[in-house]
Amino acid sequence: MDSLKRIEWGDVFVLGNETMDKEHEGLVNIHNKLVDIVNTKEGTRKKIAEILSELSDAGLRHFQAEELLMDKEDYPNAMEHKRQHRDFIYNVSLYNVNLMGDNPPKAEEIVNFLHDWLLHHIKNHDTEFEIYLEGQN
Ligand SMILES: [Fe+2]
Ligand SMILES: [Fe+2]
pLDDT tens digits, one per residue of 22-58:
999 999 999 999 999 999 988 899 999 999 999 999 9
Which amino acid, one-letter code, is at 18? E
What pLDDT, on the 0 to 100 scale, is given for residue 22?
95
Residue 6 lies in a domain: no
Question: pLDDT for 64-115, tens place per residue?
Answer: 999 999 999 999 999 999 999 999 999 999 999 999 999 999 999 999 999 9
Residue 7 lies in a domain: no
State the CATH number of the domain containing residue 99.
1.20.120.50
Residue 4 lies in a domain: no
Residue 131 CB burial class (10 angstroms; 0-12, 13-18, ≥19):
exposed
Number of domains the chain contains: 1
pLDDT exceeds cutoff 80 at 2 = no
Residue 8 lies in a domain: no
**What is the C-alpha to C-alpha distance for residues 13 and 35, in angstroms, rounded to an integer?**
20
Q: Record the pTM.
A: 0.94
Residue 5 lies in a domain: no
Q: What is the secondary structure of 73-125 as a DSSP string? A: TT-TTHHHHHHHHHHHHHHHHHHHHHHTSSSPPPHHHHHHHHHHHHHHIIIII
| Ligand nearest to the CA of residue 80, numbered in listed order | 2
CA 100 to ligand 2 center in whole angstroms: 28
CA 109 to ligand 2 center in whole angstroms: 22
Q: Give the CA count within 13 Å in the CB-facing half-sphere of 122.
A: 27
| Ligand nearest to the CA of residue 78, numbered in listed order | 2
**What is the C-alpha to C-alpha distance for residues 75 and 105, in angstroms, rounded to an integer?**
36
Backbone angles phi, psi at 7, to 5 degrees: -95, 120
**What is the C-alpha to C-alpha distance for residues 125 and 118, in angstroms, rounded to an integer?**
10
| Ligand nearest to the CA of residue 84, numbered in listed order | 2
**What is the C-alpha to C-alpha distance for residues 112 and 5, in angstroms, rounded to an integer?**
9
Residue 66 lies in a domain: yes
Give me the domain span that covers residue 35.
Answer: 15-136
Residue 75 lies in a domain: yes
CA 1 to ligand 1 center in whole angstroms: 30
Residue 3 lies in a domain: no
CA 54 to ligand 2 center in whole angstroms: 18
pLDDT exceeds cutoff 90 at 136 = no
